[in-house]
Structure 1
């Protein structure tokens, strides 16, 4: 596994900055330590959490078309790779169609989880792609980052599934898509999963599961602070809140204080009153034309769109 330069700030630094801001907020990138990554894998198996199920079906149904669009000798770059489960569908389709992939370069902030995912992928694909170069890169892709040089003369293609582009405000999403274009280079492509605007009740159910897995995922931010930032959060004094904002067309996730309390983080003291919240994530939803317009502002050219019959989720193939 490769490791990029250490991040400019730690979780403790960002946590202190976020709790000192008004309104208080944290970047969702900090969800994904080892415990958080495992909790997110559980979320993806929940019945109400449709994005993983629907996107996986779209990939399976259209994998041969997507592989042909990517072309021969393509190296797949996956920012925020997590468990690297969905890319298996594409790699198998490329091999099946004779479009042998040049390699796979997953990038993730959680190095331990990434290394395990890379090992699992190599083992899973050993029979069909025994010599596939897999080069995991432990790094924060939201910070300046130089990728290793390509392994072949073929194009690089990006893969950014899961609707994660929705975690960013629109201007932030455009900046991120610009960054992806720099990584991929001229003549490359990007396959990106985008969650669609839909019935708010469907969205509410997806982010408020009855088993409390999403709540545990959100609260792991405080558990992580206790482990890594010298904090003393009482997890029982906070609750998970997720709701849909129809004007901004996004789900917002918050951690809300159940009572008046003081919390100490990295030697700092923060006061909360009952009902105070810390904004931990956005999940923006898009119409197909709306996302295509956003991608166009970042220099990408829309080529193909695949969506399910219910219009829940879409896969966009873009080129630059």
Structure 2
């Protein structure tokens, strides 16, 4: 595998290539900045991306298999049902996937675009170099005729590093768009639009607004796996920043915000405590009952999705949802 710091305007000339635009030092700097900002904010907050160390990723995989957690299996079933229609409607020869991880779900799209006869190149983008290396090795065996170019980077900052050329469709799946606050969401979508040429496309996966009780249960399972996942961010801060959080002293909270139509996860301090973060030379006070937000997951309505994308220069040409209308896939064209 060719590992380079590539010119983002270059085209792929080898079957498998990995362009690195985010190093461990960059990740450490980002964690420090996010932790300092979030722990000194009122109210306190931490971005959900810091859940996903090795243990957090394992816990999330367990979450996707829980009976309460419908989003992953619903989206996968929707992709299985709609992939050929997506390929036919798109006609793209290059699939770019943001936050690709192992690229497991994307194989459904790759197979469909291959059947349609248009697939030439796949560009998975992720913050984890190790995950991309593993994915590219497997994909190289499974899709020997497809050019592969992995991009190690943060989709909120490094979109301008994506390779150009061909007819591209950017896939942003998993409902991850819902983890961004509205202003950040708009900024991100504007960046996506800015890196696309007119006529190129975005395939956006979104959770849809449904019965709040079903949504809350998905983020507060009976086995407590999501609670452990939520507290994992404290383990990350302890290990990476020399903090002395007692994760067991924080309760998992999941609630539905009806006004914003999003589920919110928080960690509630069960007692008053003082936390030291040595790497930041920071002391943080928690009052008993104080809550720190660790994630939002916004849910959407089809009309709102069209409006959201229209505001940044996209036109939704196709929309697919599952029979229970729990999840949506929107194919939007850059104007």
Assess same fold via TM > 0.5: yes
Q: Superposed, which structure 2 residues align to 1:59-78 within 5 Å?
A: 59-72=79-92, 74-78=93-97
Partner of 2:202: 190
* CA deviation after TM superposition for structure 1 residue 122, in Å: 3.3
The secondary structure found in structure 1 opposite 2:147 is coil
Structure 1 residue 5: Cα displacement = 4.6
Alpha-carbon shift at residue 54 of structure 1 (Å): 1.1
Separation (CA, whole Å) in 1 of partners of 2:53 and 2:221: 21
Give the direction of change, closer, same or farther, for the CA distance of 1:299–1:198 in structure 2 (3 Å limit): same
| 1:86-145 Cα distance to aligned partner (Å, 9 max, x none) | 11000001112222x22111111222233323333334xx2xx21322222221121244
The 5 Å alignment of 1:1-320 reads: 1-6=18-23, 7=26, 9-72=29-92, 74-99=93-118, 101-123=119-141, 126=142, 129-150=143-164, 153-265=165-277, 266=279, 267-320=281-334
Distance in 2, matches of 1:41 and 1:120, equals 19
CA distance in 1, matches of 2:22, 2:322: 40
Does structure 2 retain, via aligned residues, the 8 Å contact 1:84–1:118? Answer: no
Count residues with an aligned counterpart: 312
From the superposition, tell whether residues 114 and 276 of structure 1 become closer, same or farther in structure 2 (CA, over 3 Å). farther
**Contiguous gaps of at least 5 residues in structure 2:** 1-17
Contact map agreement 1:147 1:183 (CA 8 A) in 2? no
**1:253 CA displacement:** 0.7
What is the CA distance between 1:258 and its match in structure 2? 1.2
The Cα shift of 1:186 comes to 2.2
Superposed displacement of residue 148, structure 1:
4.4
Q: Using the alignment, how far apart are the partners of 1:113 and 1:38 within structure 2?
A: 13
Distance 1:279 1:134, change over 3 A: same
Bigger drift between 282-291 and 137-146 goes to 137-146
Relative to 1, partners in 2 of residues 1:110 and 1:36: Cα closer, same or farther, differing over 3 Å? farther
Pick closer, same or farther for the CA change 1:255–1:242 going to 2, 3 Å. Answer: same
Measured in 2, the distance between the counterparts of 1:10 and 1:165 equals: 20
Kept in 2: contact 1:197–1:249 (CA 8 A): yes
Q: Is the 8 A contact 2:159 2:191 kept in 1?
A: no
User: Secondary structure of the equivalent of 2:245?
Assistant: coil
In structure 2, how many angstroms separate the alpha carbons of the residues matched to 1:149 and 1:260? 50
TM-score when normalising by structure 1: 0.92
- Give the conservation status (yes or no) of the 8 Å contact 1:219–1:235: yes
Tell me the SS of whatever aligns to 1:60: helix
Q: TM-score, normalised to structure 2's length?
A: 0.88
CA distance, structure 2, for counterparts of residue 40 and residue 82 of structure 1: 12
- Equivalent position SS for 1:210: coil
Assess, with a 3 A threshold, how the Cα gap between structure 1 residues 297 and 54 changes in structure 2: closer, same or farther. Answer: same
Task: Report if aligned partners of 2:22, 2:154 keep a CA contact under 8 Å in 1.
Answer: no
Aligned to 2:6: none
